[in-house]
Chain A
């Protein structure tokens, strides 16, 4: 999957937890889930679980650790898809 395709699939997963709509509209690679989108950290786990379901992948704790922004999240999804 291309980076763009992953981001398009990622957006509706993240959206329900977004507290800063303006930052979400202007989403870029460096957009941070916590500091930019103001997502509650307790909801990060929902995003991780939703990603696992949507992309049919398993995200280990070590990978999850880095999933604070768009760029890292896309890279982890790509890596997990490639390993299948």
Chain B
């Protein structure tokens, strides 16, 4: 699994997604269409980005493949209802499932390899964070994999429920 949080106020300060060429480098045609047709484009950019970032992290758990390849992480579907976005993604021929929580201050995505796993994820505040030889975080007390995301004023750490 992987997660990613976006501090919307910080993202506004640090990233100008309207800059020429920006969306083209990051997003596929379908994804750019999601952005173009959404009434809240600012939010949609960061929903899609946090999903890609989370998928990248989730994939590193399966196989380490470092690189900056945002276009290879493809969002195949996305539905938003009651400030929750449910999505399907694909990377290197594998399917991933995303759940994004949208608030006025932050956006938080969780991505797993099975749809049913989305409900088995919980937020934690462990005091036991260590990193393995691939720099992937885990809790040294339980040996459980965790995913950490920190951006601006917000941090979220997730793991599978015990």
Shortest distance between the CB of B113 and any CB in chain A (Å): 21
B11 contacts A68, CB within 8 Å?
no
Once A35-B135, A49-B19 are accepted as A-B contacts, the answer to whether A42 and B68 lie under 8 Å apart by CB is no
For the complex, give the distance between the alpha carbons of A67 and B53 in Å. Answer: 16
List residues of chain A with CB under 8 Å of any chain B CB. Answer: 17, 35, 40-46, 48-49, 52, 61, 64-68
Shortest distance between the CB of B57 and any CB in chain A (Å): 10
B22 contacts A49, CB within 8 Å?
yes
List residues of chain B with CB under 8 Å of any chain A CB. Answer: 11, 14-16, 19-22, 25-26, 49, 53, 66-72, 135, 151
- Which residue of A35, A40, A67 contacts B68 across the interface (Cβ within 8 Å)? A67
Q: What B residues does A68 contact at CB under 8 A?
A: 66-68
Once A40-B151, A43-B14, A43-B15 are accepted as A-B contacts, the answer to whether A61 and B66 lie under 8 Å apart by CB is no
Q: Give the one of B16, B69, B135 with max A CB within 10 A.
A: B69
- Which residue of A41, A43, A48, A61 contacts B53 across the interface (Cβ within 8 Å)? A41
Closest B residue to A41 by beta carbon equals B53
A42 contacts B25, CB within 8 Å?
no
Q: What B residues does A45 contact at CB under 8 A?
A: 22, 25-26, 70
Closest A residue to B50 by beta carbon equals A42
Q: What B residues does A61 contact at CB under 8 A?
A: 25, 69, 71
Shortest distance between the CB of A40 and any CB in chain B (Å): 7
A46 contacts B15, CB within 8 Å?
yes
- Which residue of A40, A48, A64, A65 contacts B14 across the interface (Cβ within 8 Å)? A40
For the complex, give the distance between the alpha carbons of A42 and B25 in Å. Answer: 11
Q: What A residues does B53 contact at CB under 8 A?
A: 41-42
List 6 additional contacts besides A41-B53, A68-B68; criterion CB under 8 Å: A45-B26, A46-B15, A49-B25, A61-B69, A64-B68, A68-B66
